[in-house]
Structure 1
Amino acid sequence: MATQLAADARRRIELSGRSFTRPHSTRVITVANQKGGVGKTTTTVNLAAALAQAGLNVLVIDNDPQGNASTALGIEHHGGTPSVYEVLVEDEDLAAVVQQSSRIPRLWCAPATIDLSGAEIELVSLVARENRLRTAVETYLAHREATGMDRLDYVLIDCPPSLGLLTVNAFVAAREVLIPIQCEYYALEGLSQLLKNVELIKNHLNPGLHVSSILLTMYDARTNLAHQVAAEVREHFPAQTLRTTVPRSVRISEAPSYGQTVMTYDPGSSGALAYLAAARELADRGAPARLTPEES
């Protein structure tokens, strides 16, 4: 406990008043992992909130039918709300569905509703089914520029825990993939398959796609297993793995029930400080090098 408090104090001092590096152009990052429960949505919304609080303009696209990212950001997403479903299936402009966060001025969200659960089937018969989200994002970025709105610095896309057409759309729309990995053995098992899927998308649909970042989540420093998993990931992916690890935290788990991220729910908690540090690291890194054949 004393060690954790000391670490939090150091991190709080280090991050206090720190402005983050603004990218030269909009970075579109898909947060993905085929395994459920590894912290994809939690990572997406908290990184987005941390980046926005640091003065950057951030859009979260909730591409998961569960709509948990929309809930955590306090964004309306009941049935009938204009959402990502209308964008993907009905060719609605992304500008028509984006909502601004009431808690963080520079944060926007394109919500997901329950309608998105049927999109996997409906997309099958549509023209350019894998490219629909990319087209929508490019159109929206051009719309913001044409109307004199501030340029977005980051677009973060939250994915469902599967490799269906929703996730494929997210991969095709992005340039970078961020993979949250839970510090447990089972989380490692699906990583090689995920990397193969990213490589398939890169070879056939999106040549610029690459895994830019890996974030270790639910890290419990008291267990040997967490240390072993972290060491193994860092050994195989030294360039991609962020130095920051996100600890297990009750505050992180509680925040969505209040329609908040941990960044506003308890900004002084160890979980919030970890995500703030991870966001700073992500911003400082820019777009790192791709995985080499030996690493993948």
Structure 2
Amino acid sequence: MAKKIKQIAIYGKGGIGKSTTTSNISAALAVAGYKVMQVGCDPKSDSTNTLRGGTYIPTVLDTLQDRSSVKLSEIVFEGFHGVYCVEAGGPAPGVGCAGRGIISAVQTLKNLKVYDDLDLDIVIYDVLGDVVCGGFAVPIREGIAEHVFTVSSADFMAIYAANNLFKGIKKYSNSRGALLGGVIANSISAPYAKQIVDDFASRTKTQVVGYVPRSVTVTQSELQGKTTIEAFPDSPQAQVYKQLAAKIAAHEVSATPSPLEIEELRSWAAQWADNLVALETGEVRSAAQSI
């Protein structure tokens, strides 16, 4: 019997640090002994850059442009510590559906029997989470990914995008779609930021699986074209990623979230805005006291 491959999808709005987080998780899992594949599902095609010394790789969509089939070696490239890297790709700006690359990549990988032939333990789909259109929803809708995690900071637009993702997960949950594993809280430095993400997770009936602080170590690593796991393996930031990777590797039970309606989300955000003002002026000792 073929072994069960753990397939997860990590979503997050553009610029939130989703690909940085995903690549460090992949690198940490590889160092821990897992056979990992990371599939970049963003039209920018830069998900796997720091796993390959800052270099870009040919995308599935570009490789298929003038032909109907490809070889595994033309779309799957080895990166740091043996992580297999794939970039779905996307159309030229302003032309076509940005989600088409994901659809093409998933189907091509299936046709080539990549998942079986490479004897993978974990496949991670790094997916743009600003919109959950037909293409971007493929890992959820088709049940390709068993578990979904979202990267979010305490900023409202990041939480707004996460809440929209929760709506997509809930929609497809009754048709064997992927379920939510939890929130990865990124760029968490101030105590109130942790409180905001914790409160959002509680209200949407999910969990925070890890807190990733803002760190100059990440910037230094990426300027070298590397993950923090590779560039600064003994740093406190690398330890954060390793602990997060271990939690994700051990995660087994996901659930359907309870997303907030837009009016609820706006009201919740307004309450936090008032409380942060009160916190700054010293009117309350903790921003969470009156939420």
- Identify unmatched segments of 5+ residues in structure 1: 1-22
Using the alignment, how far apart are the partners of 1:182 and 1:224 within structure 2? 12
Structure 1 residues 189 and 119: CA distance shift in structure 2, 3 A: closer
Query: Equivalent residue for 1:162?
Result: 131
Query: Equivalent residue for 2:193?
Result: 226
Query: Equivalent residue for 1:45?
Result: 23
Cα deviation digits, residues 20-62 of structure 1 (max 9, x gap): xxx95112212112x3222211111011001111000111111
**Which range moves more in the overlay, 167-176 or 246-255?**
167-176
The answer to whether the 8 Å contact 2:169/2:177 transfers is: no
The answer to whether the 8 Å contact 1:40/1:180 transfers is: yes
* Matching residue within 255, 261, 274 for 1:290: 255
Q: Secondary structure at the match of 2:211?
A: strand
Matched, 1:109 2:109: no
The answer to whether the 8 Å contact 1:40/1:158 transfers is: yes
Correspondence 1:252-291 to 2 at 5 A: 252-286=218-252, 288-291=253-256
Correspondence 1:1-296 to 2 at 5 A: 25-33=4-12, 35-74=13-52, 82-86=58-62, 91-93=68-70, 95=72, 96-101=74-79, 103-105=80-82, 107-111=83-87, 116-118=90-92, 121-122=95-96, 131-140=103-112, 142-143=113-114, 145=116, 149-160=117-128, 161-171=130-140, 172=142, 173-202=144-173, 207-220=176-189, 223-236=190-203, 240-242=207-209, 244-286=210-252, 288-291=253-256
RMSD: 3.2
Using the alignment, how far apart are the partners of 1:112 and 1:132 within structure 2? 7
The answer to whether the 8 Å contact 1:63/1:112 transfers is: yes
The answer to whether the 8 Å contact 2:153/2:186 transfers is: yes
Structure 1 residues 228 and 50: CA distance shift in structure 2, 3 A: same
TM-score, structure 1 as length reference:
0.73
Structure 1 residues 238 and 63: CA distance shift in structure 2, 3 A: same
The answer to whether the 8 Å contact 1:120/1:164 transfers is: no
TM-score, structure 2 as length reference:
0.74
Cα deviation digits, residues 239-290 of structure 1 (max 9, x gap): 5421x3111111112222212111011112222111100000111122x131
Cα deviation digits, residues 119-160 of structure 1 (max 9, x gap): 984459x8xx985443233334x3463xxx441111111223
